[in-house]
Amino acid sequence: MTAPLIDPFHRAIDYLRVSVTDRCDFRCVYCMAENMTFLPKKDLLTLEELDRMCSTFIGLGVKKLRITGGEPLVRRDIMTFFRAMTRHLDSGALKELTLTTNGSQLERFAKDLAAAGVRRINVSLDTLDEAKFARVTRWGRLPQVLRGLDAAQAAGLKVKLNAVALKGFNEDELFTLSEFCAERGMDITWIEVMPMGDIGNEDRVGQYWSMRDVRATLETQYRLTDLAESSGGPARYVRVEETGQKIGFITPLSHNFCESCNRVRMTCTGELYMCLGQEDMADLRPALRNFPGDDAPLEQAIRDAISHKPKGHDFDYSRQRADGQVSRHMSHTGG
């Protein structure tokens, strides 16, 4: 069982994104409905089960573990899990432990995350305008997030912002956000809005702002140089010659990145999604819970799931509708 995880298209799977909760203290308009019905807490994997699940993946060759949600830092006692994962960093089996967060809890947890071996984090932030921030997050408070960024950098964490490109919302902040990051030594990645979940009256097609257009706008003021490097995820990076910072582009709609996909996503209930943009999944809970003293069935269940990983997703807005939309919310799968 020591062979690496290889999917049917000869891609090595060495990156696991794990949602530890579907709950969040924000209600971002492209991610959740305002009045969400969350999973009963009893349905979630316990922290001990999350440890066993992630440890099994690491034993099968996963080198990068990203913790997501919902908002991962609102889960009770979540630092217990981060501290448990430190042993895999210490052994060298795990190369990177990181997380994606909305930043609301960083003021509380930044030092603890750094102590657990987290070296870099992604913070989702789409606007620096307090009124617009309140509108896009519905429940969020921008000053709290900005204090969290300060705390993270003070703790020695490398911070990268993730901004969802929303037409008619943050087009006018493209350069403002870039300059904000450059002044603080942070990189930024822009992401095309993805058609996931029933979010009420929000217009997916009307929100869509292509990364081709984002880049073309940036090039009216900046000289951009393409970079070959990768952070292990789907972003393509450029260097801004005027500032030296990196800007990334994630393009699930205008140019999918499936040919190099090295990742799978596990929900907080133990469902493994081999592709963000497909509905098929494998429920790993029976193999986890029915064999408490034996990891072999869980290892085999993981291998069986990877053997069904599809070639790619089929998100498409070109026909002026959100084709390829999947029914689950991003908060369920993990950002």
How many angstroms separate the CA atoms of 257 and 155, rounded? 33
**Can you give the residue range of the structural domain that contains 322?**
15-333
pTM for the full predicted model:
0.87
Residues flagged as binding site for [4Fe-4S] cluster: 24, 28, 31, 258, 261, 275
In the sheet that holds 246-250, the strands lie side by side as 224-226, 236-240, 246-250, 187-192, 158-165, 120-124, 96-101, 64-68, 15-19, 263-266, 271-273, 281-283
Per-residue pLDDT tens digits of the chain, which is 335 residues long: 568 899 999 999 999 999 999 999 999 888 888 888 889 988 999 999 999 999 999 999 999 999 999 999 999 999 999 999 999 999 999 999 999 999 999 999 999 999 999 999 999 999 999 999 999 999 899 999 999 999 999 999 999 999 999 999 999 999 999 999 999 999 999 998 865 445 455 555 567 899 999 999 999 999 999 999 876 677 899 999 999 999 999 986 545 557 778 999 999 999 999 987 677 899 999 999 999 999 999 999 999 999 999 887 554 444 344 444 445 455 556 65
pLDDT for 1 equals 55
Residues flagged as binding site for GTP: 17, 66, 100, 160, 263-265
Q: What CATH number did the domain enclosing 21 receive?
A: 3.20.20.70
Residues flagged as binding site: 17, 24, 28, 30-31, 66, 70, 100, 124, 160, 194, 258, 261, 263-265, 275
In a domain, 312, yes or no: yes
How many angstroms separate the CA atoms of 191 and 233, rounded? 12
How many angstroms separate the CA atoms of 241 and 246, rounded? 9
pLDDT for 312 equals 73
Answer whether 274's CB lies under 8 Å from 326's CB. no
pLDDT for 75 equals 97
Give the residue ranges of DSSP H helices in the chain: 47-59, 78-91, 106-115, 130-137, 142-154, 174-183, 204-207, 211-218, 285-289, 296-306, 330-333
DSSP 8-class letter at 96: E
pLDDT for 235 equals 86
In a domain, 7, yes or no: no
DSSP 8-class letter at 123: E
Nearest CA to 66 out of 26, 101, 92, 105 is that of 101
Residues flagged as binding site for S-adenosyl-L-methionine: 30, 70, 124, 194
Tokens of 170: 């943050």
pLDDT for 195 equals 59
In a domain, 265, yes or no: yes
Number of domains into which the chain is organized: 1
In a domain, 8, yes or no: no
pLDDT for 174 equals 96
**First and final CA of the chain: distance in angstroms?**
29
> Distance of CA 54 to CAs 69, 210, 274, 299, Å?
15, 35, 15, 11
Residue type at 242? E
